Amino acid sequence: MDLQSIKNRFGIIGNSPELNYALQVAVQVANTDLTVLIIGDSGVGKEAFSSIIHTLSSRKHNPFIAVNCGAIPEGTIDSELFGHEKGSFTGAVDARKGYFETVNGGTIFLDEIGELPLGTQARLLRVLEAGEYIRVGSSKVQKTDVRVVAATNKDLLQLVQQNKFREDLYYRLSTVPIRVPSLASRKDDIVLLFRKFASDFAHKYKTASVQLDDEAKTLLISYPWPGNVRELKNIAEQVSVLSENKTIGAKELSRYLQPYSNNRLPMVISPQDQHEFQNERELLYKLFFDMKKDVNELKRMFLEVLQNPSLATEHAELIDNIRQIKTSPETLQPVVQPVHFPITQPVVANHTPVIHENEFQEHEEVEEVLNIIEKEKELILKALIKHKGKRRDAALDLGISERTLYRKLKEYDIEDL
């Protein structure tokens, strides 16, 4: 039987080389009893290949069953596959036959084989190697003659390396591997499939079949199709049912497509970009360290001014420059609030405070913070009085932003003058 006849018989649409090769392998292996492992992404139609293998085999008149291993709870999957005896576990009120017993002589399709628990994998390996199994809660060995066709959308070798899948079972299952290509790798088949699905749904819902213009076809081909043929079929059904126009353009078609095109792609950082990121990070680290150094220096100078007020004029220009560079609104204002020390106040003759060394040491930890707050409040009041209540001019004179001044007024409960 040629491939075109197989496609017509089982409703396979497409002419890509990868698809044709997968069908050819399925046809060749069908009339044997070899175990087959079908590999492919979710939605590519792996179950259709299992039906082809069973239908073209000598077991075609015997039972065929498809089992989704990922849909059966771990606690009951052994019972589902191999059966159980009465009273073997809570709820086992009667003995039950498993799939390997009811499908004896036929074919069992184990979809999502990578979801099998390790204990169940050991039981399955014994079936594949010796054709034997034991019901849950029984000690009697039973025989079965079932051909196993398995399928997975996962990398089983990777699961083997992670100790989540038995290595011996992997090599026993993959006697003949069949790789079903994804829809994204069959771009020439996408429009053909859509046309077939649209025709089927038009017949089902008794409406005219929708048609795609050239721009819509281009959009359909460029879409990545993460859900593969299953997703394409769903889109065709939505368009057939919901679209008022029977000629679909790209704009209308885009409403039915999920925005997978760009946001699913991983971000690739070139070596040059990575080097730039490292440079930016180093600059930030250096900036933070410089800030810490400047703050320590400001503290040191402030203590010197408290001990010797005559140094205030000497340090004023240096501190003002540091403050303008390090805490300018264009650089770090969103990150840190500028710190203002009241050390730029001019020293008035005959009003120089006298600080005794013993008194300063005794009250250093408490008096220092209180003095800063009081002096800052005093400076704000003087600046407002000097500029007749104009906040903007007062803020410029104080070397702070108008927004910071407003916050300080609220903080110190200072009313506008």
Domain ranges of the chain: 3-181, 184-254, 272-411
Evaluate whether 303 touches 315 at the Cβ level (below 8 Å). no
Per-residue pLDDT at 283: 58
Contacts of 250 (CB under 8 A, 6+ apart): 213, 215, 216, 218, 219
From residue 236, alpha-carbon distances to 88, 226, 229, 249 in Å are: 48, 15, 10, 14
Q: pTM of this prediction?
A: 0.61
Fold type of domain 184-254: Helicase, Ruva Protein; domain 3 (1.10.8)
- The angle at the Cα of 52, spanning 42 to 195, to the nearest 5 degrees, equals 60
Contacts of 337 (CB under 8 A, 6+ apart): 404
Identify how many contiguous H helices and E strands the chain contains and give both numbers: 18, 9
Per-residue pLDDT at 299: 72
Paired strand residues for 36: 149, 176
**How far is it, in rounded angstroms, from Cα 81 to Cα 66?**
11
Evaluate whether 170 touches 130 at the Cβ level (below 8 Å). no
Per-residue pLDDT at 265: 43
What tokens appear for 304 in the block? 């010197």
Evaluate whether 79 touches 69 at the Cβ level (below 8 Å). no
What tokens appear for 288 in the block? 């933070």
Per-residue pLDDT at 335: 43
From residue 149, alpha-carbon distances to 10, 33, 117, 241 in Å are: 18, 10, 18, 36
Closest CA to 115 of 73, 162, 70, 158: 70
What does DSSP say about strands 132-134 and 141-143: parallel, antiparallel, or unpaired?
antiparallel
The CATH label, of 3.40.50.300, 3.30.1120.10, 3.10.20.600, 3.40.50.40, for the domain at 3-181 is 3.40.50.300
**How far is it, in rounded angstroms, from Cα 198 to Cα 209?**
6
306: phi then psi, degrees, rounded to nearest 5: -60, -40
Closest CA to 103 of 66, 56, 152: 66
Per-residue pLDDT at 195: 94
Per-residue pLDDT at 352: 47
Per-residue pLDDT at 229: 94
Q: What is the pLDDT along the chain (417 residues), one digit of tens a residue?
A: 688 899 999 989 999 999 999 999 999 999 999 999 999 999 999 999 999 999 999 999 999 999 999 999 988 999 999 999 988 887 778 888 999 999 999 999 999 999 999 999 999 999 999 999 999 998 899 999 999 999 999 999 999 999 999 999 999 999 999 999 999 999 999 999 999 999 999 999 999 999 999 999 999 999 999 999 999 999 999 999 998 888 999 999 999 998 764 444 444 444 554 454 455 555 565 666 667 666 777 777 777 766 676 666 655 655 565 555 445 554 444 444 444 444 444 444 444 444 444 444 444 444 444 557 777 888 888 888 888 888 888 888 888 888 888 888 888 778 766
Per-residue pLDDT at 365: 45
Question: Checking phi first, is residue 348 left (phi over 0); if not, alpha (psi -120 to 50) or beta?
Answer: beta
